[in-house]
Structure 1
């Protein structure tokens, strides 16, 4: 079984793939119609997917920080989201 907690490689799952899988796991768990054992298995899968997404986001943040440091000014600024 492939390790889903590492960063995506060109041939491996992407952040978007893991996020979509995690959303599906949540959808299934929220129905409340699953047997206990299946719910536990899905919960375990969800925690692995969540950890993978978290690590990929942290890696992306680190890459952005490196790129900002390469610029003229060394600064890290929070991302301003549209609509805020």
Structure 2
């Protein structure tokens, strides 16, 4: 027991003077920002836009035009959604 106590006091004296220096550090902290704008309204699917009977009455050209327009709306929606949520 005395040897352990002696070792503690012996090692405590070996430390020497402690040098403390102040230094400035820049730390980046993430901050939550509001979104750039409101999210755009969702695109209504074609099967919800047109009743089955009306869809069956359309010609192939009319169906393809509506499908192409739906595709363009979806592309516009993804661009608008990306722009609205880019700052979130």
TM-score normalised to the size of structure 1? 0.44
| Structure index of larger Rg | 2
TM-score normalised to the size of structure 2? 0.42
